[in-house]
Structure 1
Amino acid sequence: MNGFASTKHTARAQRNNKIATIGFYTLGALVMLLIFWLLFTILSKGLPALRPDFLIKQPEEIDAGGGIGPVLFNSFYILFISLFISVPIGLGAGIYMAEYAPDNKFTGALRICVESLSSVPSIVFGMLGLAIFAEYFDIGLTILGGGVSLALLNLPMLARVTEEAVRAVPGEIREAGYALGMTKFHVIRTVVLPVAMSAIVTGICLVAGRAFGESAVIILTAGLSTSGEMWDFNLFSPGETLAVHLWYVQSEAIVEDARQIADKSAAVLVFVVLFINFVFRFPLWLSNRRK
């Protein structure tokens, strides 16, 4: 009887395993189909009509045929500023929380605060940036305000992702480094970070894509206009980005080809986000292939 019950239990477990496997494969396929459908829908509307001059021409307020040159440049410029500020601080904070911070109530409370800030709506950081730069420092809506506000938006997520990535590194690897006489910092720099780099790069990709497509923060801190120059590196110039321009064209623009401009801008936005992920991940993939 015991052998029969064991056989019956094994058969039921195998059946449940097959059902679960089929279910998870089905869910994965549905998610992939949804993603490809969204990409196809957006890119198919904008890419066929996209021309190189659209990427460098000035936007038009009344006449048809405007481009996205200054707003595209501002998008990359503000993204660079935000990553330049948030990546070193976020990585440092994550490493500190994972490797150096003592395990006490204060550290636990700090970790809860970081997790809470990660889920705060972006409009709140926009209001914070508006209060700091436009009201307290009285410099108005600028590229600098937009870049710093986006950095504040991305810092909690970067710190949390880095902490989890570093904590996920097996302790045996650290102990092997210590056994060779390496210092704690040397172990972190040469052993822990290379192992955790894949997860850290994923976090950077997430915040970079989020920053490039963010609109609420930019509207409140960088404004709805540009200086009118294609390559304006002045940090105190207004900094309308591609995402904000897409929202403006779709909702308030009066040009007759507003719909076409919105479709092409959306295609460029999606393509750039995909390109950012490729740029960050390709060196990592190449390094793994060489190993």
Structure 2
Amino acid sequence: MNARLADRLATVMFWMGAAAVLAILALLLGYILWHGIRVIDWRFLTTPPQTIAAGGGVGPQIFNSFYLLLLTMFITAPLGLLAGIYLAEYAGKGRITEYIRLSIETLTSLPSIVVGLFGLLIFVNMTGWGYSLMSGALALAVINLPLMVRISEESIRSVPCELREASLALGATRWETMWRVILPSAFPGLVTGAIIAAGRVFGEAAALLYTAGMSSPILNFSDLNPWSPTSPLNPFRPAETLAVHIWKINSEALIPDVRRVADGSAAVLILVVLLFNICARWLGRRIYRRLTAM
């Protein structure tokens, strides 16, 4: 076999592998959307779920998912970015750095159900918060933090050394170089890491079963007091997310239209994740162009 034929065969195999992945993804998305898109309407998206009667929606679950996303990323993004900067720019070779990397790798491999049990013990019971949004956000932060740290470190390391040297040669301090040169150049990778971490927040269910709970109080959206039990802004109230709701109605729901609600909820979750990824990447490109004037 000559080199040209081997190159063509390898190219065909690569294209076949990519096509197989796209076909599987299209099949899964098509199946979920085909069964669920007919259920979605304004009433389904805004009304609360029913316990026994038919016709319930997923309004509170959608709000809880986005609120949990904000709380989780508010914790994960700054800590992950600062840890990534430290490991990429300031940490030298030594035992402490090795222990930090070992801890990050260990946390990355932990099953989410184990993190959920840890959250149940620490964030739910020991703090006295009970099942709450804050407990779920801290548990998800434990899951997402290693990923955010690794992506931040790799994104910062991928910035060419010439940019650092040029900035320092012009008289900039190390912090000014980091803030004005390295971070804008690493911004696309940081956005990608944030999107991946946010996507895990939307799809996570196992850890939230033990921390955020499987129920949600009747929310009064006119009550903006964050300490009111019925306020949607209260971070210490139970909050069933959309992913947990899908698991719950498929396992223990008593409503007669279980299949309808399950199909509609799955389709809403898929559409929300797709829309969030598209908007986040569009926003990330705009911010990157502003920061780099490109």
Give the TM-score, by structure 2 length. Answer: 0.91
Amino acid across the alignment from 2:274 = L
- Distance, in Å, in 2 between the alignment partners of 1:116 and 1:152 is 11
Cα 1:252–1:95 change in 2 (3 A) is same
Gaps of 5+ in 2: 222-231
Change beyond 3 A, Cα 1:78–1:146: same
Superposed counterparts of 1:60-75, under 5 Å = 60-75=50-65
Match of 1:121? Answer: 111
State the identity %: 43
For residue 287 of structure 1, report the CA deviation from its aligned partner: 5.1
Aligned partners of 1:46 and 1:266 also within 8 Å:
yes
| TM-superposed deviation, 1:230 | 5.5
Question: Does residue 236 of structure 1 match 2:226?
Answer: no
8 Å contact kept, 1:126–1:217: yes
Q: How does 1:213-228 map to 2 (within 5 A)?
A: 213-228=203-218
CA distance in 1, matches of 2:179, 2:288: 18
Greater mean alpha carbon deviation, residues 76-85 or residues 225-234: 225-234
More moved, 21-30 vs 11-20: 11-20
2:129 paired with 1:139 = yes
Q: Read off the aligned partner of 1:138 and give its amino acid letter.
A: G
- Structure 1 residue 288: Cα displacement: 6.0
1:107 aligns with 2:107: no
Three-state SS of the structure 2 residue aligned to 1:279 is helix
Contact map agreement 2:188 2:288 (CA 8 A) in 1:
no
Counterpart selection for 2:74 from 68, 84, 87: 84
Q: How far apart are residue 13 of structure 1 and its match?
A: 2.3
Pick from 194, 199, 214 the counterpart of residue 184 of structure 2.
Answer: 194
Question: Partner amino acid for 2:251?
Answer: S
1:247 is aligned to 247
Q: Output one character per residue of 1:126-147: Cα deviation in whole Å (capped at 9) or x when no partner.
A: 1111111222122211111111
Match of 2:46? 56
Q: Confirm or deny: 8 A CA contact 1:134 1:221 kept in the other structure.
A: yes
Judging changes above 3 Å, is the alpha-carbon distance between structure 1 residues 230 and 65 closer, same or farther for their aligned structure 2 residues? farther
- Name the CA distance, whole Å, in 2 between partners of 1:175 and 1:26: 43
1:173 corresponds to: 163
Aligned residue in 2 for 1:14: 4
Task: Tell me the distance in 2 between the aligned counterparts of 1:278 and 1:87.
Answer: 19
Superposition TM-score, scaled by structure 1 size: 0.92
For residues 108-138 of structure 1, the C-alpha deviation after alignment (integer angstroms, 9 at most, x for no partner) is: 2311221221121111111111111222122
Unaligned 5+ residue runs, structure 1? 1-10
Aligned-partner residue type, residue 132 of structure 2: T
From the CA coordinates, give the structure whose radius of gyration is larger. Answer: 1
How far apart, CA to CA, are the structure 2 residues paired with 1:17 and 1:193?
Answer: 39
In structure 1, what is the Cα distance between the partners aligned to 2:233 and 2:288?
Answer: 37
2:25 matched to 1:31?
Answer: no
CA separation in 1, counterparts of 2:220 and 2:40?
19
Counterpart of 1:259 in structure 2: which amino acid?
A: R
Distance in 2 (alpha carbons) for counterparts of 1:126 and 1:78: 15
Contact 2:187 2:288 in 1 (8 A): no
- Matched residues, number: 281
**Counterpart for residue 276 of structure 1:** 276
Structure 2 residue identity aligned to 1:249: I
Q: By how many angstroms is 1:53 displaced?
A: 1.0
Aligned match of 2:225 = none
